[in-house]
Amino acid sequence: MKYTLRITPAAEADVDEAATFIAEDSLNAALRFYDAVELTYRELRDHPERWPLFELLNPRLIGLRKCAVIGFHRFIVFYRIEARVS
């Protein structure tokens, strides 16, 4: 089954902010970070159920999952599986 990944503008801004922070020390590391984010997004799209639910009491956050950016484990992607595309 295939899934569609929808990246919110806020998430895109967070990625850019993190890359800017990383670039202060190393431009090459920031470029690797962007590549790692893309790889992480691809993994989430292809295998979204691989990561466990992130249990929270707030009902608005039911179904939330989290995954570390591959190779940059201090950066976390939060996501929700909403619908499948055939």
Query: Could you give the CA distance from residue 79 to residue 22 in angstroms, rounded to a whole number?
Result: 23
The answer to whether residue 57 sits within a structural domain is: yes
Query: Whole domain around residue 25: which residue ranges?
Result: 9-80
Question: Token digits for 74?
Answer: 């201090």
The answer to whether residue 38 sits within a structural domain is: yes
pLDDT in tens, 17-75: 999 999 999 999 999 999 999 999 999 999 999 999 988 888 888 899 999 999 999 99
**Can you give the pLDDT at residue 84?**
58
The answer to whether residue 13 sits within a structural domain is: yes
**Can you give the pLDDT at residue 36?**
98
Instruction: With a cut of 70, say whether residue 11 has pLDDT above it.
Output: yes
The answer to whether residue 41 sits within a structural domain is: yes
The answer to whether residue 4 sits within a structural domain is: no
The answer to whether residue 61 sits within a structural domain is: yes
